[in-house]
Amino acid sequence: MISKEKDNLSIRAYESIKKMILNGELKPGQAISINAMAETLQISRTPVTNACQRLEYEKLLTVIPKQGAIINTISIESACGIYELRAAIESYNAKRVMDIFTDKDIEILKESIKKQQQIAKNEDAKAFMEEDIFFHRYILDKNINYELSSITNQLYDRAFMVGIKNIMSSRLSESINEHLYILEKLEQQDRQGFADAIEENILNGLRSLTSNFLSK
């Protein structure tokens, strides 16, 4: 019972700290104290330490022994690697899963695009990134491959971190049009077109990100 309670506290600490990182409450380069974080979460040091070790594995922070941790900064070089890896994985996956999409799946993707359109009107970058990732993850998860999911979940988290800081409002409408094109190719059962459209959508996001990053 005690072991299970410790595990639950570690999970709670992990989810809380991760949320703070992704939401920007903990900023890249910021140092965090294990003691201070434990006090904030009202738990002991051990669950926080365990959570930080897990987040280090996911490349969201770096643990500094006997000191605490530092939230990782994602360089433009790392961002390129993240997006290029996503493009390769998701386009490959698209060819494998296209045949198993149902009418219900397509309706879910259409509903996601409607949400994106509404969010874009409000220029809410955070909400848009969340729905964008939902759209891509839904397609990816049609392939029940836990190893693939483990890798891509880390990529999505890190893409979210860098995207939330660099996405431009003009990119929102462009991305929606690209998602509509992805859906069109899916409904046409155009396997190569479906894969190419997903790859192009991700790489266009990278081009926009790079352009915005260099203009700062």
32-87 tens-digit pLDDT = 999 999 999 999 999 999 999 999 999 999 999 888 999 998 888 888 999 999 99
> Would you give the distance in Å from CA 109 to the centre of its chain?
17
Any idea which of 34-43, 52-61, 132-141, 145-154 has the lowest mean pLDDT?
Answer: 145-154
Q: Give the neighbor-by-neighbor strand order of the sheet with 31-32.
A: 31-32, 68-71, 61-64
Does 101 have pLDDT greater than 80?
A: yes
Contacting residues for 94 by C-beta, under 8 A, at least 6 apart: 139, 191, 194, 195, 198
> How confident is the model at residue 64, as a pLDDT?
92
Retrieve residue 104's tokens: 């219900």
Most confident of 58-62, 178-182, 202-206: 178-182
> How confident is the model at residue 117, as a pLDDT?
96
> pTM, whole model, 2 decimals?
0.85
Mean pLDDT computed over 12-27: 92
Using alpha carbons, list the distances in angstroms from residue 97 to 91, 103, 169, 195: 10, 14, 31, 10
Contacting residues for 59 by C-beta, under 8 A, at least 6 apart: 72, 154, 158
Does 4 have pLDDT greater than 60?
A: no
Does 154 have pLDDT greater than 70?
A: yes
70: left (phi over 0), alpha (psi -120 to 50) or beta: beta
Name the class of domain 2-71.
Answer: mainly alpha
- pLDDT bucket at 1, cuts 50 / 70 / 90: very low
Mean pLDDT computed over 121-148: 91
Q: Are 137 and 92 in contact (CB under 8 A)?
A: no
76-215 under CATH 1.20.120.530, yes or no: yes
Phi/psi of residue 31, each to 5°? -90, 140
Say which residue the tokens 């397609």 belong to.
139
How does the average pLDDT of the chain come out, rounded?
90
Does 2 have pLDDT greater than 70?
A: no
Distance between first and last Cα of the chain = 52
Does 212 have pLDDT greater than 80?
A: no
Indicate the domain borders of the chain.
2-71, 76-215
- pLDDT bucket at 213, cuts 50 / 70 / 90: low
